Amino acid sequence: MNRRFKMYFIQYIICRFFIFILLLFPEKFRFRFGNFLGALTYKLIKKRRDIAYYNLKLAFPEKSDKEISKISKQSFKIMIKAFMCTLWFKDYLNRPNNIKIINMENVEKLYSKGKGIVVATMHFGNMEASVKAANGHDIVTVAKTQRNPYINKYMNFNRSKYVNMEVIEKDRNTSRKLLEKIKENKIFALFSDHRDKGAIVNFFDKEAKAPTGAVSMALKHDIPLILVYNTLNSDNTTTIFISDEIHLERTDNFKNDVQNGTQTLINEIEKVIKKYPEQWMWFHDRWNIHSTLKRMNKV
């Protein structure tokens, strides 16, 4: 084991020890601790706090600094709690009072077509809790490989304990691996809200890049597309929202269809964020604003 992997292993052991200690406490304490960590992260990590502030200023120029700070801080808390919740997700998801699902019948209606479903998801609320919307059907998703291989393996194993989910690690062969699963009529859950190579879209009246994976797959293979997201509520329960099928226009120009379909999807995502702004991950560099801040010598 070389020096780097020794460090990774030490990090993993420290992480597992922290998880062991955390799980000794009741769930209410864990979430209160998550609130504390979120507030502490907001205070200490200036780079992410600045990105969240300027993202919110771009999206909601009419809001005061006080309103923006409140939304930003709450977003940090929700994201930290959502991450921590995955550490005991199997128990959390299996408690009936923790999960409420809106429009569940739409999943079964679309799945009965025999083509599977493409689900566009968001970095929003108690993110991974949306797997409950699959209603027991197999899920395929794509995730970025964590730098620490021990933690990466642990996270993927943890996911497999609470749902029938296959995680494809993001690399140059991701598209091919997804295509191999098309005939299996599974639910393909793909994050569609963050900055990624793909289409140039209008997002909060600003030019932004958006991933096209969900729309491309739905168009190319004639699979129904829906948006699924959830809110982590003040009592730490989760409400999952399932959209109706998103209509995608199909012409003889596939490239334009993907562009237009991606904009349609982004419009739906924007509506959700406007409704529940504190639930979105604002500290992600959505508009590549950190480069701009560096040029302005503000970071």
Domain residue spans of the chain: 3-295
Lowest-confidence region among 33-42, 81-90, 122-131, 174-183:
174-183
Per-residue tokens: 188: 């393909």
How far is residue 255's CA from residue 261's CA, in Å, rounded to a whole number? 10
Is residue 156 a contact partner of residue 167, using CB atoms and an 8 Å limit? yes
pLDDT for the residue numbered 294: 61
Residue 132: pLDDT band with limits 50, 70, 90: very high
Q: Per-residue pLDDT tens for 174-204?
A: 888 888 888 888 999 999 999 888 899 999 9
How far is residue 123's CA from residue 68's CA, in Å, rounded to a whole number? 19
* DSSP run (H or E) holding 121: strand 117-121
Q: Over pLDDT 90: what percentage of the chain?
A: 74
One-letter amino acid for residue 162 of the chain? Y
pLDDT for the residue numbered 184: 86
- Judged against a pLDDT cut of 70, whether residue 293 lies above it is answered with no
pLDDT for the residue numbered 1: 58
How far is residue 8's CA from residue 184's CA, in Å, rounded to a whole number? 36
Q: Per-residue pLDDT tens for 44-102?
A: 999 999 999 999 999 999 999 999 999 999 999 999 999 999 999 989 998 989 999 99
pLDDT, average across residues 270-296: 86
How far is residue 117's CA from residue 189's CA, in Å, rounded to a whole number? 8
Is residue 233 a contact partner of residue 97, using CB atoms and an 8 Å limit? no
* DSSP run (H or E) holding 239: strand 238-242
- Judged against a pLDDT cut of 70, whether residue 241 lies above it is answered with yes
